[in-house]
Chain A
C-alpha cells in the first residue's frame, strides 16, 4: 500500500520535503513505519523523540496504518 506522509519541522528538513510517499506492506503498523523511515533516513535516530500522528491523533506503535490515513511525522514539539 502507498502511504502519503506529511512532514513538519526538522522531519521536513531530514526528508527534504513536506510530503513523502512510501510503499509499505498491507497491515504495517506505526512502529513499522518508524523503523522504515529510520533505516532510510538515519538522522531520525538522533532526535529526542519521534511520534507518528494518524488522522490527527498521536498513534501508538501497534496501530495499523491504512492507505487513506492522513499520516504525519511528529518530531519533538517546541510550541509556546
Chain B
C-alpha cells in the first residue's frame, strides 16, 4: 500500500494492512511534526509532492527492500498539505517473518524515501519560512 494523502493519516489502517499470518514481526516508523528546528519555533509545516512520481519512486524503494529482506507486506503513507506540531507526516509499516529484518527494512525505506521521493517540506516560523534542505 503506497499512498499520498492530504488528510490526517491512519496508523491503524497501515498496521492492519501489513499484519498477515505468515509474518511474526511488524515494524513501523511514524514521522511527526516537531515544534522546533535549529532553535526556531515551528508554527506549521507545508508538504507538497509530485504525486505520480513520488508513488513510482516509493514503489522502487519497496522493490529494493524486497530484494534485501523477506518482506511480506509494506505500507508507506505520506501526508501533504498543512500540518501542525505532533501531526503525522509519514507512516512506514513492514511485516517480515522475524523481527531483525523488519527493523532493517523499515529503516531502509524511510532513509531512502527521504533521499529520493519528490516530496518537499516548508517550515513556517513565527518570523519567516524556509524550504528544508533547499540551500547548502
Q: A6-B50, A72-B50 are in contact. Are A79 and B120 (CB under 8 A)?
A: yes
For the complex formed, measure the closest distance between the CB of B1 and the CB atoms of chain A, giving whole angstroms: 17
**Interface residue count on the A side (C-beta < 8 Å):** 20
> For the complex, is B136 an interface residue (Cβ under 8 Å from A)?
yes
Q: A8-B50, A53-B50, A56-B53 are in contact. Are A78 and B118 (CB under 8 A)?
A: no
For the complex formed, measure the closest distance between the CB of B49 and the CB atoms of chain A, giving whole angstroms: 7
> For the complex, is B86 an interface residue (Cβ under 8 Å from A)?
no
Q: Do A76 and B133 touch (CB < 8 A)? A: yes
Q: Return the contact of A78 from the options B50, B56, B110, B131 (Cβ within 8 A).
A: B131
Whole-angstrom CA separation of A44 from B119 in the bound complex: 18
Q: Do B49 and A72 touch (CB < 8 A)? A: no
For the complex formed, measure the closest distance between the CB of B14 and the CB atoms of chain A, giving whole angstroms: 15
Report how many A-B pairs have Cβ atoms within 8 Å: 80
Whole-angstrom CA separation of A11 from B34 in the bound complex: 25
Whole-angstrom CA separation of A79 from B53 in the bound complex: 13
B residues in contact with A76, CB < 8 Å: 131, 133-134
> For the complex, is B48 an interface residue (Cβ under 8 Å from A)?
yes
Q: A79-B113, A80-B31, A80-B113 are in contact. Are A9 and B134 (CB under 8 A)?
A: yes
Q: Do B134 and A79 touch (CB < 8 A)? A: no
Q: Return the contact of B132 from the options A8, A53, A72, A78 (Cβ within 8 A).
A: A78
A residues in contact with B136, CB < 8 Å: 48
Q: Which 6 A-B pairs have the closest CB atoms?
A: A79-B119, A9-B120, A78-B132, A80-B114, A10-B131, A56-B53
